[in-house]
Amino acid sequence: MTQTTYKTAVEQLKKYSYSYYVLDDPITTDEEYDILYHAVVAYEQEHPHEILSDSPTQRVGDQPQDKFDKAPHLSRMWSLEDLFNREELETWVNRITKSYGEVQFYCEPKFDGASLNLIYDNGILTQAITRGDGSIGEDVTQNAKTIQSIPLTIDYQERIEIRGEVVIFKEDFEKINEERLKSGENLFANPRNAAAGSLRQLDTRITASRRLVFMPYGIGVNSLEIKNLSQRMEWVYALGFRNPHMTHLCEKADEIETFYHEMRIERDNFAMLLDGMVIKVDSIAVQDELGYTVKNPRWAAAYKFPAIEKLTTLKEVILQVGRSGVVTPVAIVEPVDIEGVTVERSTLHNFDEIERKDIRLGDKVIILRSGDVIPKIVKVITAERNGSEKIIPRPAQCPVCDSELLDEGALIKCQNLSCEARVVNSIIYFASKQCLNIDGLGDKIVEALHNCGLVKEVSDLFTLTMEQLLALEGFKEKKSRNLIDAIGAVKGCDCWRFINALGIEHIGEVASKSLCTAFGTAFDTASREEILALDGFGGEMVESLLEFIRVNQDKIEKLRELLAPVSPIKKVAIENPFKDKTVVVTGAMSVPRDAIKAILEELGAKVASSVSKKTHFVIYGEDAGSKYDKAVELGVPLLTESEFRANLSSFSDSTSTAQGSGVHPKNSLFD
């Protein structure tokens, strides 16, 4: 093969791949493709300096990666507002047409997969980033290059972001699970999970074997002068991307509804799963004017398909104890096929839900499976009962350790720190940053220490020796010494950290500080009435605390002796806008939220975790979410991070010459 014939062969392979993976119209056999492919490989091995960057051989790397790096999107990837019925559709459409008159809406399938953002520079694919939190995702460029429906080069020289969904065809999903079953691996729950998991494989060869498909749905950063979204998408398809072949321009809610029902009928004929239809304003100018809410674009929405339901029989209920100690009832049902997936188990959520729906053993039930949602029982067919059905009893003892269970109705939890089902998680939480912050004691190390029998409960951490650690694989002298020192360093910790680290249900950082302020390290000797008298403590919190103390009294005493926690020294904050006020901090800030919380607490504020009518301020950053929405609903005053800084600065200026003897924090984070 000469250099000229090599280039010709590469172009031919690209045509074969495009016809097969993008057009779904093969123009050669697998055998002919393989012969030409291996001829190209042979030439490249002999002439490594002549390898073309867009050669099909360059799609798969040889060495697995160590990890995925974080990477920012050039422009934010937004989530969509969900619509579930005709009424919601009309409300959404009317909100737009009321201001802009007759506009066209671009409708397209909503594929059920993993979102991916492709960045092209000078026509070359330079980066592929998962959605992440919308602003920052993981760089999976090497894996994206293995996806044959993603062009390595495009005929466009400006920088551009092409957004889309990575999916797995239903047929390929079944094959993957068959292979995993044969090799004894856990099965993927659904194609979406399979796509997401395949996209994040550190070994690109595994990703390449999964036959992922990229379905474009939009454009991020660009310098295009094309004025309508529908025309922009046709332009994208012409670059070599796959076309979904079921898009439509509509002008009114009636037309959108009609096309929606057409797509619902066709959904089973798609090679991949759909979970709805996406509706977008077609005019880019109108999109720009509509803008965005805190979470969603105002010019786009997802019109979701109704979930799939099947009739089956409830055979048995088993109890699962999660790593946090929560006991969850799981229904075992007669196997039923839903969209090609055999369902044998269903969540029952909790025992309150069982009683509310009057679910009994032996009942005929309707089970629902929607997209990647765990199947659930939505209705009992009581007319089918014959008298043999049995009431499902609420458990009183943990099925793993037989300890008393905390029963709060919806929540039933084992709080025994030594319970085998929750011991690892309790130790991980104990050592976490928000608790005792034991440096070097991460999830994997806790699991390793537990699996080898060295740490069976939290107190065992404090009896670890250098000899024991050095005997373990991966533990050298420095690592072992650092861990022993880090564990020893938490002795004499703040009282609130000690209580918070115990992992008591409903008792978080704020409640732990309240308990320490009121009772010091002897919090476990306080009476029900004394605890109830504390601000913010309700009946559920108190019962949870008292039940935890009953089950773990000896462990609390032992840990208190080992840690010797220190009760707080009471300080009085000087007068300021936040003193004695309840404040909630939410969203992404320019500094860690914990730092802002610490400042507020020094100012005498109570920092709460949820918004209520008693909340005085909500300080919010980007992606504030439901807490922001709740504050708006309740009329709670909102402060941006900048406004909070301004308040802080104003307060600092006005008190800098007259601080008195009260606490006045110096806020270097904002200087």
Which residues are tagged catalytic? 110
Q: What is the 3-state secondary structure (H, E, C) of 121-151?
A: ECCEEEEEEECCCCCEEEECHHHHCCCCCCC
**Identity of the amino acid at 258:** T
Q: Do residues 525 and 519 lie in contact, with contact meaning Cβ atoms separated by under 8 Å?
A: yes
Other C-beta atoms closer than 10 Å to the C-beta of 143 total 30
Closest by CA to 516, choosing from 579, 585, 565, is 565
Q: How far apart are CA 575 and CA 528, in angstroms?
A: 33
CA torsion through residues 490, 492, 496, 502, sign: positive
What number of other Cβ atoms are within 10 A of residue 239's Cβ?
16
Point out which residues pair with 431 in neighbouring strands: none
Inter-residue contact 271 to 171 (CB < 8 Å):
yes
CB 213 within 8 A of CB 169: yes
Taking residue 242's Cβ as centre, other Cβ atoms within 10 Å add up to: 20
Residue where the block lists tokens 């730092």: 595
Spell out the long-range contacts of 193-199 with Cβ–Cβ below 8 A and sequence spacing 24 or more: 193/372, 194/168, 195/113, 195/114, 195/166, 195/167, 195/168, 196/113, 196/114, 196/166, 198/168, 199/114, 199/116, 199/130, 199/140, 199/143, 199/144, 199/166
The answer to whether 117 and 160 are in contact (CB under 8 A) is: no
Q: Which tokens belong to 7?
A: 């280039």
Planar angle of CA 405, 406, 412, nearest 5 degrees: 85
Taking the CA atoms of the chain, what radius of gyration do you get in angstroms?
A: 30
Tell me the β-bridge partners of 138.
Answer: 70
Q: Enumerate long-range contacts of 31-40, CB under 8 Å, 24 or more apart.
A: 36/9, 36/12, 37/13, 39/1, 39/9, 40/1, 40/6, 40/9, 40/10, 40/13
d(Cα 308, Cα 339) in Å, to the nearest integer?
Answer: 8
- Cα–Cα distance measured from residue 37 to residue 143, given in angstroms and rounded to the nearest whole number: 20
